[in-house]
Structure 1
Amino acid sequence: MNTFKIIASAASLAVLLVTTAAFIDFGYDTEIKKIQSPTSEGLAVVELFTSEGCSSCPPADELMGRIQAENKNKELYMLAFHVDYWDHQGWKDRFSDHDFSLRQRQYADWMNLQTVYTPQVIVNGSVQMIGSETGSVLKAINQQLAEERSSSLHLNCAIEDDKAVVHYEGVADQQNAELVLALVQESTASKVKAGENAGRNLSHVQVVRKLTRKSLSGKKEVILYLPDDFNQQGWELIGFVQNLQNGHISQAARFDFDAK
């Protein structure tokens, strides 16, 4: 994998990645409500790369919270990955994981980007934008939901002591794709005591706590070890099929532990 320059703030990246059209105000409340389309033909896996140590990230986290709260579209799958490259700036994000930083850099490779930055949103592994730009994020989600895309992926999960035993079906064996599974805490918060967000109480939604991958061959079972603070209330499992050559996501499903 290539070595990428890390740009800590989305503001520094604007001249490189954002055209004038990306700054158009699409109407915050109106556009969010438009996502609630029960007739949507597609799906949207929305990945936010963020950090509690980044002063540009809270608006993106807040946008994800608004979208999550105001939309019931079952084909909208939201994931917040807390990267670790901000952890040396005075505050260690307790949700950060180096694997999440590596995932973001893999996207940079797939998309031929020279940098990684926060906050960044990637939708269906195919389009990226600054995560705090409401109009751009909502436009991308709506476009992906409008595309015809059938998903037969189905997840089932059983808790056994400190692990989740996941079974999946509805996806054929493939050599150029894999199943990605993310264990998600739906809502949490932190009081940040140092770094760029010192003194702030930050709320988070859809925080990825564990991530694992499996090739689409062999036994359709995955073992996922659970964090110590896991409980079945307020957590879900999101899985999706991702192309290994370009990162595009073709199928997705969720398992809601609350509904079990």
Structure 2
Amino acid sequence: MKILKIAILVVFLVSAGMISKAITGHIHKVHSNLGDKGFAVVELFTSEGCSSCPPADELVSRIQKESAGQPIYILAYHVDYWNRLGWKDVFSNAEYSKRQGQYSEWLKSGSVYTPQIVVNGKKEFIGSEENTLRNAIKNSLQNSSPNTLNFSNIKLANNNVALQYHTQATSNNTSLVLALVEKAARSQVKSGENSGRTLSHVQIVRGLQNININGKADGNSSIIIPQGLNTKDLELIGFLQNESNGEILAASRTELNAINQLP
């Protein structure tokens, strides 16, 4: 009789353990799903004229390879203020330096530097700090956003990308930022701090358009493709940004190679 009671107790404990495990697994799954709507927009400010930048370029390249299929959006802006020091970065643009300066005001950092990374418009740090970047991405993915951004009716014609955007109604200080991104490129640097090096880059911003959507949940927009770029090498990344504090509210992307070219 005593043995029977022990056997019954063992069965009960095992069953209870299995139930507890099932409940725990279910809770874990629910928490994981809560992060499904999270996203990370990673903006790197870099330059071929900066000897500290190649490690940051290599870091975001690794992140890009690892994050296939995830809502991680990498944009590499090549600033132009290094150009006067011996090497003109062919990917540089004064608009990208201006954008970095805007982040200095939003984040009250008081200065600009390279390499610098900003995640979701809220956190900035040295672009080669791998642990900091990975933690920032992880935290961003775990925080779901109430906002969404989707594109439809995307058309290519005469070196122009036209589209319709769809989101929730937003405040009047929200802008839609469109970026044309070249997926990869290499450069042979012949002077400056990286003289003699062959540098590899990913997610290079080649065009940037900032549109105040005036609180409209739906609308039309467009961005020009710079001459000399092949659409098969490009993707379009768009995101909503609060113009008061720089916070990024939602993001989306589309491959231009998948869009039919109009005559």
Question: How do 1:21-170 residues align onto structure 2 when only pairs under 5 Å count?
Answer: 40-156=36-152, 157-170=154-167
Cα deviation, 1:112-151, whole Å, max 9, x if unaligned, reads 1111000000000000110001111111111111112144
Q: TM-score if structure 1 supplies the norm length?
A: 0.82
Question: How do 1:203-242 residues align onto structure 2 when only pairs under 5 Å count?
Answer: 203-217=200-214, 220-242=219-241
Structure 1: 5+ residue stretches without partners: 1-36
Q: TM-score if structure 2 supplies the norm length?
A: 0.81
Structure 2: 5+ residue stretches without partners: 1-31
Alpha-carbon distance in 2 for matches of 1:75, 1:127: 18
Alpha-carbon distance in 1 for matches of 2:50, 2:121: 23
Alpha-carbon distance in 2 for matches of 1:201, 1:115: 29
Alpha-carbon distance in 2 for matches of 1:98, 1:70: 31
The aligned counterpart of 1:245 is: 244
Alpha-carbon distance in 1 for matches of 2:114, 2:168: 33
Alpha-carbon distance in 2 for matches of 1:149, 1:212: 23
TM superposition outliers: structure 1 runs of 4+ over 2 Å: 37-41
Q: Relative to structure 1, is the Cα distance of residues 173 and 143 closer, same or farther in structure 2, using a 3 angstrom cutoff?
A: closer
Alpha-carbon distance in 2 for matches of 1:73, 1:146: 16
How many pairs does the alignment contain? 224
The offset of 1:172, in angstroms, is: 1.7
Which amino acid is the alignment partner of residue 220 of structure 1? G
The offset of 1:169, in angstroms, is: 1.1
Bigger CA drift: 211-220 or 74-83? 211-220
Cα deviation, 1:147-203, whole Å, max 9, x if unaligned, reads 121442112321111211122112325212110010000111111011000011000
Cα deviation, 1:8-54, whole Å, max 9, x if unaligned, reads xxxxxxxxxxxxxxxxxxxxxxxxxxxxx886441000000000000
Contact 1:91-1:192 at 8 Å conserved across structures: yes
Contact 1:183-1:238 at 8 Å conserved across structures: yes
Alpha-carbon distance in 2 for matches of 1:163, 1:211: 13
Bigger CA drift: 151-160 or 128-137? 151-160
Bigger CA drift: 144-153 or 208-217? 144-153
Match of 2:199 among 199, 202, 218: 202
Partner SS state of residue 246, structure 1: coil
